Structure formats: structure tokens, C-alpha cells
């Protein structure tokens, strides 16, 4: 019989309930989840026993104090964190409490893009030329050596926040005027299609891996363009190669015994695979729901079970999507104006819809790839059909969404 500590699970929560219904996942496991939830998403969790709203969740130490207080009263057998911004503090808490799971050194290797690329390059895999940027001279020197274009991003960033492509001196001057991102990294721009491998590592082995490709790119939110993804079926010529590449990247890093992962890799016009980055968490937007729509495999639920009740883990062994059964997702971003209406009745290939927007609310445009207004999971026979359906969905959305107060409109003054 499990002890009280083994039955208790502490989770940092800043994700939608639809993504992490921990109470439902734990129902048949014999564990009791205690959730420290950000104020922003707490209304979605207030019905869950053991859920506590934490003001100042991201900053100020309130979540850390609440975690230590809870751990003193109810020592956890596991500490769970799904969101990128929670991974380091969850790792440190595990070390403080002596709880198994991903430690701080492993987490840092997946969070710090400079450290990550150093480790991957030592393994013999190709990464872009890169360098840390601590002062402006670092950036000047890199551009002088490698030329334009270059990419500047926060080394600890997520969701493409703060990522900028510099294509010439004017872009560089603008960035320096605005100020460098904290702990910035610069790297050479890589031409090529961005592919993704998402998966689950359990008991130290990758047990489920899924390859996909982006529709548009991760900086689409800057321009108000939709971002999407389409799963590759097993018979796609790149699926096995991408999955094999992901295994090599995981081997190059101090990969924990249990984690989901999200790997982004460039496939260049001359047929090379070049690392973009990898994270030890589930991909954003509707990555997990799209995988579930294509395969029936619930990536996040199996990740949760692998940590708290491994005996309930599904016998995975899932590698890619079966031919004829692809799926994907599309997200749409806010404009700089007031939302007047959202479209209704999506096309029949849409199998899941999530609306975060509120009609009548003023928005300031896209700020992060994960901060979308509306998101949809869609199906198709393969990635090409999913892409065609995504284009049709974009036309449907554009015809139905309405904004007021957009810059340049006559009438009420546009938002700043």
C-alpha cells in the first residue's frame, strides 16, 4: 500500500484545464493531486479538490512559498510541471525535497539554448553557428564574422517571445535601441523547412515519437498570420529520419527518466538536419490534442501517469501517425483593435475548437506564439491534406472574424 507521501502529487499549473485535467487523470491511479494554479487559469480549476489559486504566480515567490508550505504539510511523491516557465523551479523543488524526477542540471540543458547547443554540437550533430550575447559588442562581432541574416533570441525564452530576425544594419540598430533580450543568444539564420518531433520518454527510453511540420512559422504572430502544424504519416519520406534524429539529440543531452519533449529542427534545401532547439515539455498550442486526434494517444496523460503511477501507463510503442490518419492544428492571433465577432460553425474537418477570445475586448496584437485567440484541431489523410484544410479554415476564419478600431480605420481612434 502506498504511503501518504507517495499518494500526494504537487503540480505547478499555468495551462488550460482542457490540457491538464489532473483530477481526471489521477482518478484511477490512487494519487491525490495538489494543484498550485495561476490566478489567470484558476477559474478553470476551481472545481478541482486540492486546487489553490496563487496570486503573483510567475513572479514574487508566492508559488514557491505555497509549494514549500504544502510540502511540509503533505510531502509529495512527485512534483509535476508542464509549462516551460515552471520547469526550473519544479526541478529545484524536487532537489530540495529529495523527490525523484528531472533535476536542475537536466532541466537547464533543455532550457538554456546556449548550453543546449554546446552539448548537441559535441555529440557531432549540426547546430547553427551561435554565441551568447551579453553586451552589444558580442552581437557586432558575430555579425562581422558571419554576416546577415541572424536570429537573436532569449536563451531561456519560449513561445518565440523576444525572437527577432535581423536582416541588415537597420534591424540591428532597431534592436539595440529597443534593448537586448536578457541572456540573449545570436545564431546564423538557417534556410529550410521547420520540422518537429514530439514525444514521451518513460523509464529512460523514448516510447512514443511523432513527427510534424509547421505551416507558416513560429514568428507568424508578429504579422497576424495563422500558425499551424501537420502530422507526418509513417510513410512520409522524412518520418523515420526525423525520429532517428530526435533519438540522437536526446542521447546528447542529460535526458531525464521521464519527460515529454518538443524538438524543432531545420531541413535545409541541401538535405541537412540542423537543430533549432529542444524542450523537455510538451509542444505548445494544440500539439497534444492533434496527436490524440490522429492516433488516440494522449501524450500529456501518459506523461502524468509515467511519473505518478507507471503501472497504469499505456503500452505505447507509438512511432508516427498511421497512413491515411493525419491531423494538425491551426491558431489565430489577435489584431490591434477590439474584437467584434468570431466565426461560427467551423468546417467538418475540424474536430476540436478552443476559443480564448472575448468579444468586446481590446487587444494589442500578437505577443507570443502560444497566446492565441482561437485554435482548431483538424484532420486529413496526410500532411498535405491537412495543409489544404488549414488554408480553407483560414479563409473561413477571415470571413467571419470582425474587428473595430483597427489602425488606419476611420471613426474611433485606433489603439496604440
The pLDDT tens digits for 254-292 are 999 999 999 999 999 999 999 999 999 999 999 999 999
pLDDT over 80 at 410, yes or no: no
Exposure string (b/e) for 171-205, b if CB count within 10 Å is 16 or more?
Answer: bbeebeeeebbebbbbbbebebebbbbbbbbbeee
- The residues with which 80 forms a beta bridge, in sequence order, are 11
Average pLDDT, the chain: 91
The rounded distance, in Å, linking the Cα atoms of 368 and 186 is 19
Residue whose C-alpha is closest to residue 196's, from 122, 277, 260: 277
pTM more than 0.85? yes
- The residues with which 130 forms a beta bridge, in sequence order, are 187
pLDDT over 70 at 48, yes or no: yes
Helix (H), strand (E) at residue 239: helix 239-252
Report which DSSP code applies to 276.
E
3 state SS of 259: strand
Using a pLDDT cut of 90, give the percent of the chain over it. Answer: 81
The rounded distance, in Å, linking the Cα atoms of 361 and 238 is 43
Expressed in angstroms, the distance from the first to the final Cα of the chain is 60
Half-sphere exposure of 233 (CA within 13 A, CB side): 15
pLDDT score of 414:
32
The string of pLDDT tens digits covering residues 302-350 is 999 999 988 877 766 778 899 999 999 999 999 889 999 999 999 999 9
What grid cell was written down for 383?
500532411
DSSP H helices, 112-194, are 113-122, 136-146, 169-178
Give the orientation angle of helix 239-252 with respect to helix 113-122, to 10 degrees: 100
Exposure string (b/e) for 327-358, b if CB count within 10 Å is 16 or more?
Answer: bbbbbbbbbbbbbeebeeebeebbbbebeeee
Amino acid at each position: 500500500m502506498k504511503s501518504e507521501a507517495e499518494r500526494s502529487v504537487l503540480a505547478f499549473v499555468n495551462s488550460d484545464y482542457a490540457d491538464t485535467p489532473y483530477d481526471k487523470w489521477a482518478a484511477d491511479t490512487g494519487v491525490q493531486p495538489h494543484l498550485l494554479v495561476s490566478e489567470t487559469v484558476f477559474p478553470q480549476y476551481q472545481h478541482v479538490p486540492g486546487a489553490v489559486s496563487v496570486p503573483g504566480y510567475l513572479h514574487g515567490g508566492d508559488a514557491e512559498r505555497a509549494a514549500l508550505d504544502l510540502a511540509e504539510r503533505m510531502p509529495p511523491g512527485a512534483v509535476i510541471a508542464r509549462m516551460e516557465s515552471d520547469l526550473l523551479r519544479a526541478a529545484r523543488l524536487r532537489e530540495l525535497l529529495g523527490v525523484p524526477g528531472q533535476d536542475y542540471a537536466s532541466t537547464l540543458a533543455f532550457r538554456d539554448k546556449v548550453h543546449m547547443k554546446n552539448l548537441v554540437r559535441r555529440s557531432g550533430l549540426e547546430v547553427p553557428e551561435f554565441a551568447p550575447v551579453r553586451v552589444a559588442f558580442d552581437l557586432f562581432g558575430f555579425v562581422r564574422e558571419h554576416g546577415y541574416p541572424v536570429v537573436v533570441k532569449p536563451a531561456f525564452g519560449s513561445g518565440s517571445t523576444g525572437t527577432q530576425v535581423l536582416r541588415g544594419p537597420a534591424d540591428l540598430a532597431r534592436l539595440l535601441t529597443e534593448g537586448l533580450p536578457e541572456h540573449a543568444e545570436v545564431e546564423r539564420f538557417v534556410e529550410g523547412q521547420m520540422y518537429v518531433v514530439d514525444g514521451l520518454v518513460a523509464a529512460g527510453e523514448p516510447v512514443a515519437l511523432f513527427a510534424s511540420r509547421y505551416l507558416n512559422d513560429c514568428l507568424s504572430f508578429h504579422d497576424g498570420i495563422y500558425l499551424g502544424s501537420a502530422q507526418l504519416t509513417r510513410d512520409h519520406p522524412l518520418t523515420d529520419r526525423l525520429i532517428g534524429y530526435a533519438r540522437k539529440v536526446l542521447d546528447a543531452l542529460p535526458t531525464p527518466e521521464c519527460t515529454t519533449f518538443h524538438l524543432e529542427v531545420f531541413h535545409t534545401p541541401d538535405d541537412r538536419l540542423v537543430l533549432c532547439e529542444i524542450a523537455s515539455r510538451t509542444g505548445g498550442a494544440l500539439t497534444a490534442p492533434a496527436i490524440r486526434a490522429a492516433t488516440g494517444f494522449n501524450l500529456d496523460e501518459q506523461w502524468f501517469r509515467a511519473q505518478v503511477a507507471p503501472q497504469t501507463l499505456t503500452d505505447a510503442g507509438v512511432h508516427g501517425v498511421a497512413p491515411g490518419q493525419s491531423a494538425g492544428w491551426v491558431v489565430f492571433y489577435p489584431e490591434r483593435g477590439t474584437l467584434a465577432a468570431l466565426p461560427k460553425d467551423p468546417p467538418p474537418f475540424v474536430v476540436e475548437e478552443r476559443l480564448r477570445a472575448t468579444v468586446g475586448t481590446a487587444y494589442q496584437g500578437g505577443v507570443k506564439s502560444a497566446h492565441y485567440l482561437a485554435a482548431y484541431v483538424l484532420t486529413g489523410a496526410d500532411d498535405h491534406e491537412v495543409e489544404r484544410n488549414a488554408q480553407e479554415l483560414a479563409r473561413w476564419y477571415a470571413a467571419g472574424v470582425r474587428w473595430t478600431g483597427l489602425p488606419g480605420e476611420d471613426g474611433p481612434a485606433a489603439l496604440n
